[in-house]
């Protein structure tokens, strides 16, 4: 009986894994969707561990107007925090960055992205581990795609490491629940914010002082 139950579980798990791999393949090989400007601001999409951390980092950068926390890169509709944390939706915690492309370039946003993470960590950043915390850069057109791959090539050559970030064509961004927005700023005494998010932000700020907003 135990052998039969194990076989059923194994076949179910294998079937689910194959389905997820197929959906991920379809996602990676989709045609990128280009998002129009909103109120004069361009949009860029990144995943790099906990979105509380990433939102705060990009919010500190000059030329960035606003950052929204959410989910992207998966194959289910209307993902929630609870569902994404199961690792079965394909989604990663991501951010939507509103920026003035006359003030800051997409290439510089990539410098912010790579400069604020462990570039070689797979499926996570710091203590946050799992596919929902994996690093993904979402491109919207061929120009962005070329900039991303050129940047990765330079980083790997200079640092002699393999960049863990995946590169996906952008499909859709799902805004996270309201309580996740501006989380670091609104909850500075939260233990995770004090011990993980703020130190990550300060490390980035020390590394790239020339990219910071005045008095931030």
Q: Which residues are catalytic?
A: 50
Rg for the chain, CA atoms, rounded:
18
**How far does the chain reach from its first CA to its final CA, in angstroms?**
63
In whole angstroms, what is the distance from residue 42 CA to residue 96 CA?
A: 10
Query: Chain centroid to CA 32: how far?
Result: 16
DSSP H helical segments within 29-136, as ranges?
51-59, 81-84, 106-115
The rounded distance, in Å, linking the Cα atoms of 119 and 48 is 9
Residue 73 · residue 97 · CB < 8 Å = no
Alpha carbons 142 and 133: distance in angstroms, whole number: 26
Question: Cβ distance 193 to 52 under 8 Å?
Answer: yes
Three-class SS of residue 92?
A: strand
Return the residue matching tokens 């462990």. 118
């Amino acid at each position: 009986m135990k052998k039969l139950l194990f076989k059923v579980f194994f076949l179910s798990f294998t079937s689910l894994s194959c389905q997820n791999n197929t959906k991920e393949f379809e996602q990676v090989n989709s045609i990128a969707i280009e998002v129009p400007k909103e109120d004069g601001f361009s949009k860029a999409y990144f995943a790099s561990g906990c979105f509380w951390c990433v939102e705060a980092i990009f919010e500190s950068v000059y030329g960035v107007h606003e950052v929204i926390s959410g989910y992207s890169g998966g194959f289910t509709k209307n993902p929630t925090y609870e569902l994404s944390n199961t690792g079965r939706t394909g989604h990663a915690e991501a951010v939507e960055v509103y920026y003035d492309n006359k003030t800051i370039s997409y290439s510089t946003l990539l410098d912010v992205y790579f400069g604020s993470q462990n570039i070689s960590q797979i499926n996570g950043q710091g203590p946050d581990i799992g596919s929902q915390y994996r690093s993904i850069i979402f491109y919207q057109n061929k120009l962005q795609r070329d900039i991303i791959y050129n940047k990765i090539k330079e980083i790997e050559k200079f640092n002699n490491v393999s960049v863990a970030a995946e590169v996906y064509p952008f499909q859709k961004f799902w805004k996270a629940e309201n309580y996740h927005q501006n989380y670091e700023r609104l909850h500075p005494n939260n233990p995770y914010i004090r011990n993980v998010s703020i130190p990550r932000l300060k490390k980035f700020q020390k590394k790239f002082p020339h990219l910071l907003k005045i008095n931030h």
